[in-house]
Structure 1
């Protein structure tokens, strides 16, 4: 079946009209988004805007912390036989894909997800290190205790110190290490 020139022309006109409609829809969406961004920016306190360089400058500290904690873990944890911390379980940056956020909100969500994730990741690495090397509670109650802290020995309680330290190492290494710490103080 051959297409006539009129059929061809009609088909081209329909395609052009469909593209024009999609383009207009996209332009309207962009215009709406730009209007929302303008309204968002207009609603911000100028002092909040002035603090943005301070807030975002901490990003570099997060990156350096992320790098150093990861290197420390990769080098030391295999030697101590402590299981690796899965970084991806702590550093989650998924909120930037939410379609109802404007670009500034997406950037803020990505920043906060990364920053808080790196801090949580570093805390877990430090907690496992503390459980291995120094499983003793502080003399005074500390805020922000990690999941291993309640199993630590009480401050000043010397009862079976070496055995309890050994059991802490056994727990944190998931049974791979139960060595007793080298204790410089001789017990008599």
Structure 2
């Protein structure tokens, strides 16, 4: 809540609020698209559902010591940040299912910890052979 440290910026905050709040449109669209994908495709592939309520948490608006604008901002941020984390977990579960190979560079994400090493053809072939022997039994 760094904005509290800058009370003189109230006009700037007010001026740019429409830009911040306009993001609700693409966020809701993203939410709808991911939820349709999640609910339709995950059961088909046997991927367990991701529990939405663990990521999208809107509860700070219940704090009595916040004013109405702070409550609105907290609800918006709870939705926006929770939605993006939720979508990231859905994308991660999809990546684990379809392409469990590390990237060549970059910091691995938590869901990638058991991915096959990048460029390790032998590891990939061993994995594919194991998976094929399991699926033919």
Partners in 2 of 1:98 and 1:85 — Cα distance? 28
Partners in 2 of 1:127 and 1:165 — Cα distance? 20
User: Of 99, 103, 122, which residue of structure 1 is paired with 2:87?
Assistant: 122
Which deviations, in whole Å up to 9, do the C-alpha atoms of 1:119-138 show, x marking residues without a partner? 01000000000000011111
User: Of 70, 83, 91, which residue of structure 1 is paired with 2:35?
Assistant: 70
TM-score scaled to structure 2, two decimals? 0.84
Q: Which runs of 5+ in 1 are unaligned?
A: 1-39, 170-177, 181-188
Of the two, which has the highest radius of gyration?
Answer: 1
Matched residue count: 129
TM-score scaled to structure 1, two decimals? 0.63
Partners in 2 of 1:119 and 1:108 — Cα distance? 16
Secondary structure of 1:151 counterpart: coil
User: Of 40, 48, 52, which residue of structure 1 is paired with 2:13?
Assistant: 48
Q: CA deviation at 1:161?
A: 1.1
- Where in structure 2 are the equivalents of 1:17-32 lying within 5 Å? none
Whose helix proportion is higher, 1 or 2?
A: 2
The verdict on how the C-alpha distance between 1:91 and 1:141 changes in structure 2, with shifts beyond 3 A counting, is same
Partners in 1 of 2:98 and 2:42 — Cα distance? 12
Q: CA deviation at 1:160?
A: 3.4
- Where in structure 2 are the equivalents of 1:1-188 lying within 5 Å? 43-45=7-9, 46-142=11-107, 145-164=108-127
Partners in 2 of 1:52 and 1:123 — Cα distance? 26
Contact 1:96 1:106 in 2 (8 A): yes
Secondary structure of 1:152 counterpart: coil
CA RMSD, Structure 1 to Structure 2 (Å): 2.3
Question: Deviating runs (4+, > 6 A) in structure 1?
Answer: none
Q: Which runs of 5+ in 2 are unaligned?
A: none
Partners in 2 of 1:67 and 1:140 — Cα distance? 32
